[in-house]
Amino acid sequence: MMDAPFWTSIPFLIIVLIASSTGAIFRPGAWYRDLDKPGWTPPDWVFPIVWAVLYVLMAYAAWRVWDLDGVRLPLALWGAQLALNALWSALFFGMRRVGLAFAGLVALWLAVAATTIAFAQIDPLSGVLLLPYILWVTIAGALNFSILRRQRSPA
């Protein structure tokens, strides 16, 4: 696979950039800042850095597998997790539906896990490249759930 020229990775980078644009469209703003969040919430400046790294890893992992045999399902899963990733931003920041966003995040976690396993079966390094993503989605899920519980609990 690595015989492919680097320019062939450009479509994957473009797809990831489009998917990541929901973070620019649905900005956290005052609503997020004013939410009751747990003390372990990462500082705001961490999020764009982590997401930038994760999107590069996602694109690189997909590029590594795109021309291998048996890649149809793994790339379909990759596309599905990107769509669910974008949907979460719209649900959480755009619609401010914390509970619905958590349900979407559970679906995202499952899709990322399935993608990680599918990629690992055809290219182990591609699976490893997605491990930080599943870790971050786990943290995001715990944060989303904590915010949901705090919004529903009396003070």
- What structural domains does the chain harbor? 6-39+48-152 (1.20.1260.100)
The pLDDT of residue 105 is above 90: yes
The pLDDT of residue 132 is above 90: yes
Per-residue model confidence (pLDDT) at position 7? 55
**What would the pLDDT profile of 1-59 be if each residue is shown by its tens digit?**
456 555 555 666 666 665 555 555 556 678 888 889 999 999 988 988 898 899 889 98
Tokens standing for residue 50: 């982590």
Q: Which amino acid is at 44?
A: D
Task: Give the max Cα distance, the chain.
Answer: 59
Residue of 121, 114, 88, 103 whose CA lies nearest to 19: 88
